Amino acid sequence: MSELPPPDPIPDPVPAIMAGDHEGYMRLALSLATKSPPKPTNYRVGAVMVDVGANEVLATGYTLELPGNTHAEQCCIEKLARKYKVAGTHLGEALPDAVALYTTVEPCSQRLSGNTPCVDRILAVGKCIKTVYVGVQEPDTFISGNSSRRKLEDAGVEVLLVGGLEKDILEVATAGHETRPL
């Protein structure tokens, strides 16, 4: 007999953010990224999935929030799949027609661990994810030449940069990384 995973902990209350306040949603994603443990082998990333029509947060996630080598976007998708009791590939059938994903760092296009890249997970959800808002492009630290933006846009998903928080996002994302003297 297989054991069910433990229920998700009660999430922290989500602050009220006005519809279209992309910086507000990116700040929420950044606050989530700070919950990820600093490690030299990954970025600390936060993500928020929003029902655009209702201006309602559907899910939040951050790097290593769930067991395994999980990324922030993956955590959002896995939590929603669990909530709706569907596979991640069928999640689009359960979600509203227009969903936005806010992520502090551009979704990964490759995983050195062999796990499914976040861009492929996003596309597997289906056409309901219309826009992906990113705080910074993925630095070339682990994988150079991230192709996720092109892959998303080729699939009809708009990718937009939310500027103004790059310094803060990179500071949080790279906490725990080795720094080399100049």
Cα dihedral 173, 121, 81, 97 sign: positive
Domain boundaries, the chain: 26-173
Q: What is the pTM of this model?
A: 0.88
What φ, ψ does residue 169 adopt, rounded to 5°? -65, -45
Q: What residues are annotated to the active site?
A: 73
Side-chain-facing half-sphere of 49: CA atoms under 13 Å: 27
- 33: phi then psi, degrees, rounded to nearest 5: -60, -30
Measured distance between the N- and C-terminal CA atoms of the chain, rounded to whole angstroms: 57
| pLDDT tens figures, 33-77 | 999 999 888 899 999 999 999 999 999 999 999 998 899 999 999
Give the single-character DSSP code of 53.
Answer: T
Contact (Cβ atoms closer than 8 angstroms) between residue 172 and residue 34 = yes
Which residue shows structure tokens 């054991």?
3
Range of weakest confidence among 2-6, 14-18, 40-44, 115-119: 2-6
In this predicted model, what pLDDT tens digit does every residue of 71-110 receive, in sequence order? 999 999 999 999 999 988 889 999 999 999 999 999 998 8
The yes or no reply on domain 26-173 and CATH 3.10.180.10 is no
